[in-house]
Amino acid sequence: MKKVFSYLKFYWWQIPLIFVLVFSQTLLELELPDYMSRIINEGILSKDIPLIIQIGTQMLLIALAVSALAITVSFISARIGASLSNRIRKDLFVKIENFSLIEFEKFTTASLITRNTNDVQQVQMIITMMLRMMISAPLYAIIGFSKAYALNASMSWIFAVVIPLLVFMIVTLFSLVTPRYKLVQTLIDKLNLAARENLTGIRVIRAFNAQPTQQEKFHDISEQVRVNSTILQQIMSFMFPGIMLIMSLSTILIVWVGADRINAGTLNVGDMLAFIQYATSMLFSFVMLSMAFIMYPRAAVSGKRIAEVLAIEPQINDPEYPKTNDCSLCGEITFENVYFRYPDAQEDVLRDVSFTAKAGTTTAFIGSTGSGKSTIVNLIPRFYDVTGGSIKIDGIDIRDYKQTTLRDKIGYIPQKGVLFSGSIDSNIRYGTVNAKDEDIVEALEIAQASEIVAEKAEGLEYLIAQGATNVSGGQKQRLSIARALAKKPEIYIFDDSFSALDYKTDAFLRKALKDKLADATVLIVGQRVSTIRHADQIIVLENGAIVGSGTHHQLLEQCPVYLEIAASQLSKEELA
C-alpha cells in the first residue's frame, strides 16, 4: 500500500482541505446534542415557545451547514479517489507497455488485466473511504466521549461496559472475515482466468465438444466463490444487528441509570438525551473504523499486486549512450555466435548461430517446426536479448541502439497476423500515422491486399472487428504485410507470413516484393521451398543450429537436410 499512498502527494492541497472540512463538520455535528439538551431543559420543560423556535432555528442552520460540508467532502474525496486510480491505471499501462516478453510471461496477461482494473478499483474504494473517515472517526470518539464525560462523569462507567463489548465483537468478526477476503480475491483471479480462456478458446471448445468439461471447471471455481462469499455475507450479517444491539443496550443502560438520577434531581432530561447521543456517536465511530479495517486487508492485497507490477524493471532497456550511424545503404544484419535460451528454460534454443544478411539481399530460413526460426527473427527487434554472442545492424550491436531507433528500422510481420479493432486504414497506418495516401495504396498493392479493400463497400474504412474475426487468415496476413510495407523500413522480417496464402498470391507477392524492395534487407521464414528458393541466401536450421547455408542450388548439392525438405515438396523435374 506504500506505493499506492505515495500517489496521495499529487493531492497535497485537496487532502488538507478535506481534513479541515471534515474537522469542522464533525465539530458542528457534535454541537447538536448540546442544543437539543437546551431545547428540552430550557424550552420544552418551561414551555418557552420563542426559545424553542430560536434554538430550533439555530439547530436547523447547523444541520444545513453539516450537510453542505458533508456533500463537499464527498465530492472532493470522490474526485481524489477517481483521479488517483486514473493515475495508477495510466502508470500501470505505461509500465506494462514497456514490458519485454519476459515480464509478460511472468505475470500472465489475465493477471495484468485484473491488476489494472479490479485491483485499482479496490484501492480507489479504500482511499475514498479513508479520506472521509480518517479524521472524523477519531474525532467522534474523542469529542463524543469528552462531551459525555463533561455532561455526567458519574455515568461514564457505562462506556467501560459497552466499548469492550463492541471491540470484542468487531475483532471476532474481523478475524473471521479477513482470511476469507484474501481467499475470495485469489478465487476471483482464477475465475477471470477461466472466463478468459473459455471465451478466447470458444471455437476450439465447440469443435471438440468440450463445453461440459469447461463448464465443470468454471462451475468449480464459481462454486468456491459462491460458498466463500456466502460465508462472508453470513458473518457480516451479524455485524450490523450486533452493533445496533450493543447501541440499544447502551441506550437502555443510560436511560435506566439516568432515570434514577433524574428522579433524584441530579440529572435533567435534556442532558440524558444529549448523553445518549454522544454515546451513540462515539460507538458509531468504532463501527466506522472497523469497516475501514475490514476493507483494508482486501485493498492492501490489491495495492501489493499493483506495486509488484510498478516495481518491475523491464529486462530490456535502452543503453545509456545510444549509438546511431549514417550509412548510405543501411540494413546489414550480422549474427555473431549467437546463443539463446528462453527465461526459465533448461536448454539453449539457439546454438552458435552466425550469418550475415547483406543490405538489399533476401535471406530465408527453413527448418522443421521448433527448430528456432521464429526465435532467430524475434531476437532482431529485441523481443528478447541474446544470452550469448551478439547481433549487429550496420556494425552496431542492437543493444546499443535506442529501442525506438532499432524498431523503426524494422518492418515485422508476425507468424500469427495481428490486427487491431478499427478501420483497415488505421491498421495500415499503425506504424506511420503520417503516411501519404499513395503510400497506403502502394503498400496494399504490393501486399496483394488491394482486392480485400476493393471487395468491401466501405473500402479502407471497413471496420476490423476485435480480434480480427471478420477477415480470413490469409487476408489478415496480407494486411499485416501491408502494414509493415507502409512503414518503409530498411529491414523486413516475414515470419512465415506467406503460410496462409494460396500459391498464386504467394508468387505474386514475392515478385512485387522483389521489385519494390530492392534496397531493403529481407528475412523470410518459410516452410515451403517454393517460397524461399529464390532467396540470395538460404539458412537451414535444425535444433537451433545452422546445418547449411547458401543458395537453393548449392544447398541441394551440399546439405542433406535441405535436400530432404526439398525432395518432399518439389517434383523430380524441379529438383534437377
Ligand X SMILES: Nc1ncnc2c1ncn2[C@@H]1O[C@H](COP(=O)(O)OP(=O)(O)OP(=O)(O)O)[C@@H](O)[C@H]1O
Return residues touching ligand X (CB under 6 A). 342, 345, 349, 367, 369-375, 415, 496
How far is the C-alpha of 551 from the C-alpha of 81, rounded, in Å?
64
Q: Residue 215 CB: number of other CB atoms within 10 A?
A: 13
Q: Which does 349 bind (CB under 5 to 8 A by kind): Mg ion, ligand X, none?
A: ligand X
CB of 485 to ligand X, least distance (A): 22
x-or-dash string of contact with Mg ion, 165-204, rule CB under 5 A? ----------------------------------------
Q: With H, G, I as helix, E, B as strand and everything else as coil, classify residue 340.
A: strand
Q: Which does 345 bind (CB under 5 to 8 A by kind): Mg ion, ligand X, none?
A: ligand X
Q: CB nearer to Mg ion: give 415 or 530.
A: 415
477 in contact with Mg ion (CB under 5 A) = no
How far is the C-alpha of 229 from the C-alpha of 233, rounded, in Å?
6
Contact window for Mg ion (CB under 5 A) among 102-110, 132-140, 262-270, 373-381: 373-381
Q: CB nearer to ligand X: give 293 or 339.
A: 339
C-alpha cell at 8: 496521495
How far is the C-alpha of 135 from the C-alpha of 572, rounded, in Å?
87
CB of 547 to ligand X, least distance (A): 13
374 in contact with Mg ion (CB under 5 A) = yes
- # chain residues binding Mg ion, by CB under 5 A: 2
Q: CB nearer to ligand X: give 284 or 383.
A: 383
Q: CB nearer to ligand X: give 179 or 370.
A: 370
Q: Residue 280 CB: number of other CB atoms within 10 A?
A: 19
Task: Tell me which DSSP letter residue 330 carries.
Answer: -
Q: CB nearer to Mg ion: give 83 or 415.
A: 415
Q: Which does 372 bind (CB under 5 to 8 A by kind): ligand X, Mg ion, none?
A: ligand X
CB of 415 to ligand X, least distance (A): 6
Q: CB nearer to ligand X: give 298 or 373.
A: 373
CB of 415 to Mg ion, least distance (A): 5
Residue in the block written with cell 465483537: 169
Q: With H, G, I as helix, E, B as strand and everything else as coil, classify residue 402.
A: coil
Amino acid in the structure at residue 519: D
Instruction: Point out the residue whose Cβ comes nearest to ligand X.
Output: 374
Q: Which does 375 bind (CB under 5 to 8 A by kind): ligand X, Mg ion, none?
A: ligand X
CB of 525 to ligand X, least distance (A): 7
How far is the C-alpha of 62 from the C-alpha of 47, rounded, in Å?
23
- How distant, in Å, are the alpha carbons of 68, 177, 417 from that of 480? 58, 51, 6
Q: CB nearer to ligand X: give 17 or 345.
A: 345
375 in contact with Mg ion (CB under 5 A) = no
Q: Which does 357 bind (CB under 5 to 8 A by kind): Mg ion, ligand X, none?
A: none
Q: Which does 198 bind (CB under 5 to 8 A by kind): ligand X, Mg ion, none?
A: none
Q: Which does 328 bind (CB under 5 to 8 A by kind): ligand X, Mg ion, none?
A: none
CB of 365 to ligand X, least distance (A): 8
Q: What is the CA radius of gyration of the chain?
A: 36
Q: Residues 409, 331: contact at Cβ < 8 Å?
A: yes
Residues in the chain: 576
How far is the C-alpha of 162 from the C-alpha of 254, rounded, in Å?
11
User: Residues 557-560: contacts with CB within 8 Å, 24+ apart?
Assistant: none
371 membership: H or E segment, kind and range? none
Q: Which does 371 bind (CB under 5 to 8 A by kind): ligand X, Mg ion, none?
A: ligand X
Q: Residue 444 CB: number of other CB atoms within 10 A?
A: 26
Return the residues of window 401-440 that contact Mg ion according to CB under 5 A. 415
Q: CB nearer to ligand X: give 81 or 372.
A: 372
Q: With H, G, I as helix, E, B as strand and everything else as coil, classify residue 457.
A: coil
Q: Cα angle at 488 between 484 and 489, to 5 degrees?
A: 85
Q: Which does 355 bind (CB under 5 to 8 A by kind): Mg ion, ligand X, none?
A: none
Q: Which does 427 bind (CB under 5 to 8 A by kind): ligand X, Mg ion, none?
A: none
Nearest-CA neighbor of 308 among 8, 108, 125, 10? 108
C-alpha cell at 57: 432555528
Q: With H, G, I as helix, E, B as strand and everything else as coil, classify residue 354.
A: strand
Contact window for Mg ion (CB under 5 A) among 221-229, 359-367, 369-377, 541-549: 369-377
531 in contact with Mg ion (CB under 5 A) = no
Q: Residues 107, 309: contact at Cβ < 8 Å?
A: yes
Where on the chain is the footprint of Mg ion (CB under 5 A)? 374, 415
